[in-house]
Structure 1
Amino acid sequence: MRSLEPELERRRAAHLYRRRRVLGGAQSPLLQVDGKPLLSFCSNDYLGLANHPQVIQALQRGAERYGAGSGSAHLVSGHSAAHHALEEELAAFTGRPRALLYSTGYMANQGVITALMGRGDTVFEDRLNHASLIDGGLLSRADLKRYPHNNIAALADQMTRRLDGEALVAVDGVFSMDGDLAPLPELARLCQAQDAWLMVDDAHGIGVLGRDGRGSVDHFGLDPQAVPILMGTLGKAFGTFGAFVAGSEALIETLIQQSRSYIYTTALPPAVAEATRASLRLVQEESWRREHLQQLIARFRAGASQLGLELMPSETPIQPILAGSAERAVGWSQALESEGMLVTAIRPPTVPTGSARLRVTLSASHSFEQLDRLLDALGRLDREEAV
Structure 2
Amino acid sequence: MTQDPFDWIDDESRRRAAAGLVRTLRPRAADSELLDLASNDYLGLTRRPEITEAAAEAARRWGAGATGSRLVTGSTALHAELERELAAFCGFEAALVLSSGYAANLAAVTALSGRDALIVSDAGNHASIVDGCRLSRAETAVVTHADVEAVRKTLEAHPGRRALAVTDSVFSVDGDAAPLAPLADACREHGAALLVDDAHGLGVLGEGGRGALNAAGLAGRDGVVATLTLSKSLGSQGGAVLGPARVIDHLVNTARTFIFDTGLAPAAAGAALASLRLLGREPALAGSARAVAGTLHRRLTDAGLTAVRPEAAVVSVRAPSPESALRWAADCRSAGLVVGCFRPPSVPDGISRIRLTARADLTDQQIETAIATIIEAAPVG
Compare 229-238 and 149-158 and name the one that shifted more.
149-158
In 2, Cα distance between equivalents of 1:318 and 1:276: 21
**After the TM superposition, which segments of 4 or more aligned residues of structure 1 sit over 4 Å from their partners?**
none
SS in 2 for 1:77: coil
Picking from 135, 153, 162, the partner of 1:166 is 162
CA offset at residue 359 of structure 1?
Answer: 0.3
Q: Which residue of 2 aligns with 1:75?
A: 71
Q: Once superposed, what is the RMSD of the aligned Cα atoms?
A: 1.5
Structural mapping, 1:209-358, within 5 Å:
209-225=205-221, 228-352=224-348, 354-358=350-354
1:54 aligns with 2:59: no
Report the residue type matching 1:8 in the other structure.
Answer: S
2:34 matches 1:38:
yes
Match of 1:28 in 2: none
Corresponding residue for residue 6 of structure 1? 11
Partner of 1:367: 363
SS in structure 2 opposite 1:76? Answer: coil
> How far 1:130 moved relative to its partner?
0.3
- Residues 297 and 116 of structure 1: is their aligned pair in 2 closer, same or farther, counting only changes over 3 Å? closer
Report deviation, 1:338: 2.1
Q: Distance in 2 between matches of 1:270 and 1:383?
A: 45
Stretch deviating more after TM superposition (231-240 or 299-308): 299-308
Partner letter of residue 17 of structure 1?
V
* TM-score, reference length from structure 1: 0.94
Q: Aligned-pair distance for 1:296?
A: 1.4
Question: Structure 1: which 5+ runs fail to align?
Answer: 26-30
CA distance in structure 2 between the partners assigned to 1:113 and 1:287 by the alignment: 31
Task: State the alpha-carbon separation in 2 of the partners of residues 344 and 251 from structure 1.
Answer: 36
Asked if the contact 2:204/2:287 (under 8 Å) is kept, the reply is no
The aligned counterpart of 1:120 is 116
- Using the size of structure 2 for normalisation, the TM-score is 0.95
The CA distance in 1 between the partners of 2:44 and 2:378, in whole Å, is 31
Q: Does 1:180 pair with 2:176?
A: yes
**Secondary structure of 2:67's partner?**
coil
Corresponding residue for residue 105 of structure 1: 101
Q: How many residue pairs are counted as aligned between the two chains?
A: 376
1:250-269 deviation line (CA, Å, top 9, x unaligned): 10110111111101111111
Question: What is the letter of the counterpart of residue 18 of structure 2?
Answer: A
Instruction: Give the CA deviation at 1:197.
Output: 0.6
User: Which region of structure 1 is more displaced relative to structure 2, 190-199 or 352-361?
Assistant: 352-361
Match of 2:372 among 373, 376, 386: 376
Give the Cα separation in 2 of the matches to 1:306 and 1:38: 25
Residue type at the aligned position of 2:49: P
- Contact persistence 1:120–1:164 (CA under 8 A): no
For 2:223 and 2:176, the matched residues in 1 are separated by 19
- Distance of 2:349 and 2:187 partners within structure 1: 31
Give percent identity, aligned residues only: 37
CA distance in 2, matches of 1:23, 1:2: 30
Deviation at 1:226, TM superposition (A): 5.3
Q: Secondary structure at the match of 2:252?
A: helix
Instruction: Single out whichever of 224-233 and 210-219 deviates more from structure 2.
Output: 224-233
**Residue 28 of structure 2, aligned match among 8, 23, 27:** 23
2:232 & 2:370 partners in 1: Cα distance? 22
What is the CA deviation profile of residues 335-386 of structure 1, one whole-angstrom value per residue up to 9, with x for unaligned ones?
212212111210001113541000011111211111111111222235432x
Amino acid at match of 2:74: G
Deviation per CA, 1:50-78: give whole Å up to 9, x if none: 11111111111111111111111111122
Residues in 2 aligned to 1:263 and 1:355: alpha-carbon distance in whole angstroms: 38
Q: Would the alpha carbon gap of residues 252 and 326 (structure 1) be closer, same or farther in structure 2, given more than 3 Å must change?
A: same
Aligned mates of 1:243, 1:301 — CA distance in 2 = 29
TM-fit CA distance, 1:325: 1.3
What is the CA–CA distance in structure 2 between the aligned matches of 1:79 and 1:382, rounded to whole Å?
Answer: 49
Is the CA contact (8 Å cut-off) linking 2:170 and 2:311 kept in structure 1?
Answer: no
Note the C-alpha offset of 1:223. Answer: 3.6
After TM superposition, the structure 1 stretch with the greater mean CA deviation from structure 2, 366-375 or 122-131, is 366-375
User: Does the 8 A contact of 2:229 with 2:238 survive in 1?
Assistant: yes
Q: Is the 8 A contact 1:325 1:354 kept in 2?
A: no
Moved more, 331-340 or 85-94: 331-340
Displacement, 1:2?
4.7
